[in-house]
Amino acid sequence: MLRVGFPATISADLFADFPKEVELIPLSDKLDHDVEIDVWIPDPYPARALRIVSHLRGVRLVLSLMAGTEWIPGAMGPHVTICNARGAHNISTAEWTISAILSMLKYLPLYLDVQRSGEWKRRFEATEHYARITGDLRPHYPPVMQEELTGKTVLLVGYGAIGKEIERMLVPFSVQLLRVARTPRIDPPVQPVGELNRLLPKADVVILILPSTAETRHLIGSRQLALLKQGALLVNAARGPIVDTDALVDALNAGRIRAALDVTDPEPLPVGHALWKCPNLLITPHIGGSSPQFAPRSIKTAEDELRRYIAGEPLRNVVQAAI
């Protein structure tokens, strides 16, 4: 019988549909003895999962509940097959991305401050904000109190499952969409990463939704931020290290761009870090995938892979094949 270890923090009820050929082994993050398992479903929080790696024996397959698996190869070595939860977090992450864009374009952080102050007349700060961040100093009457997403140019950097879901949700806004990915494609048109710098000046909104690798580290640095048009919105729903944090802090403090981040570098973002106080910035603490559907969808993805593994069929979400 295949022994499958899973986080004891996740209700065993969610594994009720797993194949009968499986013995489920709950694993506490305080595990203090060796355990023999064939398949490991790690805790979604890497710090918890890493606490027990040294006690795991016999692991041949890792089924991550996350789309990102950056820490797993180093912890498990090259002789283990690793699958991610590709597709499980498409909806929640894409919805966060659309919400973050609209929050920034509708000035919701500013209006939350207005609400808390109880001063209706502070609404005119939105007009000043618009002129300052966009550089549009023309007189507008009635005064500008928000911006529209409809008709803007959106640059989607990363075109995997989540990127495609973001694109689907953007359709009603009639945006002009530009796509960049590691592998260029024709239908729909996707440009190679080498074209990024050429495309950045065209974008009103830049969405980052690509994996964190050695090649993508600081993909967005001082040069790339300088290429953005005045008032462009950078949205990072991917991983913090893709953006050079120091360069981002400088660009935000200079009033050149605005940003919405669900991820940061470092992460967690320390108390007192300069990023916390930057203007024109919305930060959420890496919550983009964390809806009530997180566990059920991720575990269903793991279950599907496990059934294929038992049947000897090709796995769908392999990010590392065992050597």
Buried b (16+ CB within 10 A) or exposed e, 150-189: eebbbbbbbbbbbbbbbbeebeebebebbbbbeeeeeeee
Among the listed residues 48, 286, 307, 308, the single catalytic one is 286
Q: What backbone torsions phi and psi does residue 29 show, to the nearest 5 degrees?
A: -75, 0
Write out the H or E segment, with its range, that includes residue 24. Answer: strand 22-27
Q: Known catalytic residue: 123?
A: no
Q: Which residue has the tokens 């928000």?
A: 146
Distances (CA, A) of 120 to 87, 106, 112, 211: 44, 16, 12, 43
Tell me whether strands 258-261 and 233-236 are parallel, antiparallel or unpaired: parallel
Q: Known catalytic residue: 286?
A: yes
Instruction: List the structure tokens of 71.
Output: 């820490």
Distance CA 309, CA 40 (A): 13
Q: Which residue has the tokens 């600081």?
A: 218
Instruction: List the structure tokens of 63.
Output: 């089924």
Q: Known catalytic residue: 33?
A: no
Distance CA 85, CA 148 (A): 34
Q: Tell me, what amino acid is at 144?
A: V
Residues shown for the chain: 323
H helix runs in the chain, sequence order: 46-50, 72-76, 90-105, 108-117, 125-134, 161-170, 196-199, 222-227, 245-253, 294-311
Distances (CA, A) of 150 to 177, 201, 202: 11, 19, 16
Q: What angle is formed at CA 282 by the lines to CA 169 and CA 166, rounded to 5 degrees?
A: 15
Among the listed residues 119, 148, 215, 267, the single catalytic one is 267
Distance CA 67, CA 288 (A): 12
Look up residue 85 and give its DSSP letter: -
Among the listed residues 86, 239, 256, 297, the single catalytic one is 239
Residue positions annotated with a catalytic role: 239, 267, 286
